[in-house]
Amino acid sequence: MDISSGVIAGFQVALQPNHLFFAFVGVLLGTVVGVLPGLGPVATMSLLLPVTLSVSPISAIIMLAGIYYGSQYGGSTTSILVNIPGEASSVITCVDGHMMARNGRAGPALGIAAFGSFIAGTLGVIGLTFIAPPLAELALKFGPPEYFALMVAGLSLISFLASGPFWKALFMASLGIFLSTIGVDNMTGTTRFTFGILELMDGVGFVPVVMGLFGIGEVLINLEQPMAVSMLKTEIKGVLPDLKDWADSIRPIFRGTILGFLLGILPGGGAVISSFLSYAVEKKISKHPEKFGTGVIEGVAAPESANNSATAGAFVPLLTLGIPSNPVMAMLLGALMIHGVQPGPLFLKEHPEIFWGTITSMYIGNLMLLVLNLPLIPLWVRFLKIPYRFLFPMILLIVLLGAYSMNNSVAEVIITIFFGIIGYLCRKFKYDLPPLILAMILGPMMESALRRSLLGSGGDPMIFLTRPISLVLLMIPLFIFSSSIVPWLRKRKKLLPAEKFD
Amino acid sequence: MKINNDQASSAVGLLIGALIVIHSFVYEIGSMSAPGVGFMPLLAGMGIILFTLIGLGKASVQSLKGIWWDPLWKGMKWERIVIALFALFLYALLLKILGFILTTILFIGFLLRVLEHQRWRVAITWAVLSALSFYVVFEVWLKSQLPAGVLGI
């Protein structure tokens, strides 16, 4: 199937009424969680994973993808109006966005954030449409050694970009790999580390773990230090940017789009880093860098475009290689695997309807977001007024019910609460959760690739170094490890913002 | 002897890693040419030990420089965490016995009344409305089989 017929087939899938409904629900929920501080896309997707079991895989991924890119739209609203980023990727938008609001220009700031997001999101999806199929063809040449090397590289990058010390991130990744080995071994059928507990025979469930770590863990942290949100007393008028606003913004939007898409593809890269870097680029090349921070529209347009196109870029490695480049993608991978669908090089051939349906639904979703966001900005602002004291019992209830309804088992609920405590303690002791989640998802694939590689080579580990693609991929972790002893690279890492998804 | 946060957490990590490594030998480790089922857990356990040892070393150097325990719960409302966890475990315990609706009303009502000091009327109204709405969504719409318990629904 070539690209044009794939796109047509994709639209036939995405335009079906039930898929339109799930795309709408996804982008709507995404915008709401983007608006609400303290509830991010990973937490929301983890809460909704059990719900997706009752729908088809394509409906599930359309909705979950909608939550992801929808949250990037919504995140800017709180940044601009309240100076509290709804999402980590909207942190930098606070700087000029909130200053614009204080200067009485909240409307154009919100407007350009929405338009920039739409343009970047759509262009990002076009990029995805053309890059994903040839990359999937290339990935067909990958054998177990290349896959193992790719996953090691991805995990190393995620760990390197974690907000805390490198050793903590690698500890979490190792722990995630261990957790993935619990249960029945796929190659021999032997059970491992189950200690006779029946519920562990199928392994530690991905859903209870993420719901506990992100859902309960996040609530517990918020409970010990209640959030105080104060609204900016300003009237929002004229959300349509004028001609001067467009003239100032259009180039930053396109630059942010390209940067965001390219960074989104890289494992470990993503919406957060791309938003910070695009802001830095704009400030660097601006004729009036001193005005950045005082409320310039370029400071809103560039990062908001970058974080949206990064979401499209992040789909490239997931759909073509089966490798999630960030925890949100790991969540999507988990959702597909629950449905028995394995993304990777054969994904396009085996499930063209899901592949193209997902991509084309994103075109439609981006259009829905533009239509939703501009007229509904006052409504999103009202969501900010929901007191957390009424919100958190609902979040806990969704987590508990989601965990229970997986297998109608109270043991799953207790496992979820247990991981909630782990998530809380990890936050207190500053251990990043994303490396654990990613390692847990990649663990079974890594183990299989490693064992197959060693079996195939007669136990010779040089197989990873004698194959060119594998060698190149393994150079990435080597480069990263060397960075801990090279001062210049250490300094570079400090300059990068932390990737936070919860 | 004063220890700091990273020393404490990496010591716990070290213990976890050691337990994983020891228990991996219960399973077949195999050889490089034919890795067994214990091979990957062993590697993961060794990774945990390696990285926590690095952490322990770094934290010990910090300790020598005078970076000691940072009181993580100082100024925090930690008692709210204990109450919330108590409510969560109680929910898990009572769910099958009392059933979804009754347990949920008690759970939400308890959190709002005890943790958030809401008035009885507000707590009870919100709890009943929440339980009924979730019942409609999960039981009626999503066809989840929520426990009926003493109420029989």
State the Cα–Cα distance between residues A28 and B133, nearest whole angstrom.
Answer: 19
- Residue A286: pLDDT band (50, 70, 90) is confident
Query: Between A and B, how many residue pairs show a Cβ–Cβ distance under 8 A?
Result: 160
A336 and chain B in contact, CB less than 8 A: no
pLDDT mean over A233-243: 71
- Residue A161: pLDDT band (50, 70, 90) is low
> Is the pLDDT assigned to residue A493 strictly greater than 80?
no
Residue tagged 């136990």 (tokens) = A459
A120 in Cβ contact with A253 (< 8 Å): yes
Q: Which residues, 6 or more positions from A422, have their beta carbon under 8 angstroms from its beta carbon?
A: A212, A213, A217
**Interface probe, candidates B4, B52, B116, B139, chain A, greatest A C-beta count within 10 A:** B116
3-state DSSP call for residue A202?
coil
pLDDT tens across B117-134, in order? Answer: 999 999 999 999 999 998
> Is the pLDDT assigned to residue A498 strictly greater than 70?
no
Residue of chain A whose alpha carbon sits nearest to that of B118:
A389
Give me the amino acid identity at A491: K
CB neighbourhood size of B150 (10 A): 10
Inter-chain touch B33–A455, beta carbons under 8 Å: yes
**Interface probe, candidates A168, A392, A406, chain B, greatest B C-beta count within 10 A:** A168
Domains of chain A: which residue ranges? 3-485
Closest CA to A329 of A59, A112, A41, A119: A41
pLDDT tens across A164-197, in order? Answer: 788 898 999 999 999 999 998 878 888 999 888 8
In chain A, which residues have their Cβ closer than 8 Å to the Cβ of B32? 454, 459-461
A213 in Cβ contact with A437 (< 8 Å): yes
> Is the pLDDT assigned to residue A222 strictly greater than 80?
yes
Inter-chain touch A220–B23, beta carbons under 8 Å: no
State the Cα–Cα distance between residues A425 and A397, nearest whole angstrom.
Answer: 21
Q: pLDDT at position A363, please?
A: 84
Inter-chain touch A410–B95, beta carbons under 8 Å: yes
pLDDT tens across A350-383, in order? Answer: 888 888 888 888 888 888 888 877 777 777 777 7
Residue tagged 């170094």 (tokens) = A465
Which ipTM score applies to this complex?
A: 0.93
Residue of chain A whose alpha carbon sits nearest to that of B96:
A410
In chain B, which residues have their Cβ closer than 8 Å to the Cβ of A218? none
> Is the pLDDT assigned to residue A236 strictly greater than 70?
no
pLDDT tens across A374-427, in order? Answer: 777 777 777 766 787 888 898 888 888 878 877 788 888 999 999 999 999 998
pLDDT mean over A452-475: 90
Q: Which residues, 6 or more positions from B63, have their beta carbon under 8 angstroms from its beta carbon?
A: B2, B3, B4, B7
Of B5, B33, B134, the CB nearest to A397: B134
A174 and chain B in contact, CB less than 8 A: yes
> Is the pLDDT assigned to residue A294 strictly greater than 90?
no
Q: pLDDT at position A301, please?
A: 93
> Between these two residues, A440 and B18, which has the higher pLDDT value?
B18
pTM: 0.77
Domains of chain B: which residue ranges? 5-64, 78-141
Inter-chain touch A410–B52, beta carbons under 8 Å: no
Of B5, B43, B145, the CB nearest to A429: B5
State the Cα–Cα distance between residues A402 and A214, nearest whole angstrom.
Answer: 13
Residue of chain B whose alpha carbon sits nearest to that of A462:
B32
Of B13, B58, B72, the CB nearest to A428: B72
Mean pLDDT of chain A: 82
